[in-house]
Structure 1
Amino acid sequence: MLNYFTLLFILLTFNNIILLNEETLILLCFIVFSWLFNKNLGILLKNDLSDRSTKIKNLLKTSLKEVSISLNTAINTKHRFWDLFYNFERLTKHYLKFTYIVIDWLNDRNFKSTQSTFLKHLQFVSRIEIHTSKLLSLILIKKLKNVVLLKSFYSTKLENPYFTCSHKINVRQCIRFVKFS
């Protein structure tokens, strides 16, 4: 087969159909190189490329399976999340209903218990107020008595000038008060 091509090439060049210049020679060398490369290494290259393509094909299939599995798990997770969210929303509504029921029950119970004990507490507070006012008045009287005794002691026994002067002023005010009334 190579003989026929060389014979054809020689015939075409002598008839000046194919011009022999640098570009033609480079093309001729490239064609011969490609043909020899295909003849000698074509089968090995074909087998290697087919092996690589099957590996790439298998890799793409496994990656597609993994992507579909991860997408399915993501979708299932999303659905479970929305189900969880919906369940929490329902739980919130039930919790609020329960809370309102408990609050109403406690309010009724507290109202009844305070209503029954309110009168007793009011009576107790009233008694405490009376006793407190009595106690405060007694304490005040005792303190005033002590103040009067001390003032008398300071003015008469010690003869402190401040207290004697104060005593004289008080006596004058009492006399004026008696005159004008």
Structure 2
Amino acid sequence: MLNITIIILISLILISQNILLLNEETLVLVCFVTFIWLSYNKLSQNIKTDLTNQSNNIKSSIEKSFDQLIFSLNNELKNQKEFENLIHNFKKIKFHLISLNTITAAKFPEFSLNYYQNTYKKKLIFTQKLEKQTAKLLALLITRKLVKIVTLKKFYIQSFQYPTLKCTQKISLREYFNFV
């Protein structure tokens, strides 16, 4: 307060001595300087706290932004490492599939040959069994027919008494004994 009084006294002395002229521009200048000075004295603390608050808000916002950026970069780094591992795993899978296909292609003719041999072997065994059964069946049928023929010839020879039939009977008996 003492400073203001000293300034006012000095100004009044200067004005009274006509050293400082009072015109419109000077009055506007004095009013402006007074306004700035009063504003600074009265509002400086409020402005300072407001600016400090804004500075702290900006600082915290920047820190959050940096934290989020670091978190995001760490996640991206993890993803890239996992992607590199994924690429490495796919390369391993590719190598294994190529080796599997090579082995399969090399073994396929042998496998198909064994498969067809087993299949044809089973079919041949079945056919052989079928032939044996058919041969037995035919032999049985032929024997039954021959038995019927022999009985029928015997009946004809005994019933009709033809000499040609007797000769045929003897020939048939010889053939039958040779067959058996």
User: TM-score scaled by structure 1?
Assistant: 0.54
Q: CA deviation at 1:13?
A: 4.5
Kindly, what percent of the aligned residue pairs are identical?
A: 31
> Equivalent residue for 1:91?
93
> Equivalent residue for 1:48?
50
SS at match of 1:61: helix
Q: CA deviation at 1:32?
A: 0.7
Amino acid corresponding to residue 54 of structure 2 in structure 1: R
Q: Which structure is richer in relative contact order (CA contacts within 8 A, separation 6 or more)?
A: 2
1:80 aligns with one of 58, 79, 82: 82
5+ unaligned residues in a row in structure 1: which ranges? 121-181
Q: CA deviation at 1:62?
A: 1.5
How many aligned residue pairs are there?
A: 119
Q: Where do 1:23-172 residues align within 5 Å?
A: 23-111=25-113
Q: CA deviation at 1:115?
A: 7.9
Q: CA deviation at 1:84?
A: 0.6
What whole-Å deviation, never above 9, does each CA across 1:88-147 have from its counterpart, x for those lacking one? 122111111111111211122224556896xx9xxxxxxxxxxxxxxxxxxxxxxxxxxx
How far, CA to CA, are the matches of 2:81 and 2:60 in structure 1?
31
- Work out whether 1:5 is the aligned partner of 2:2: no
1:12–1:86 Cα change, 3 Å:
farther
Structure (1 or 2) with the larger CA radius of gyration: 2
Pairwise CA RMSD of aligned residues?
A: 2.8
What whole-Å deviation, never above 9, does each CA across 1:29-82 have from its counterpart, x for those lacking one? 221111111222222222222122112212211121111111111121122112
Report which stretch shifted further, 18-27 or 36-45. 18-27
1:23–1:97 Cα change, 3 Å:
farther
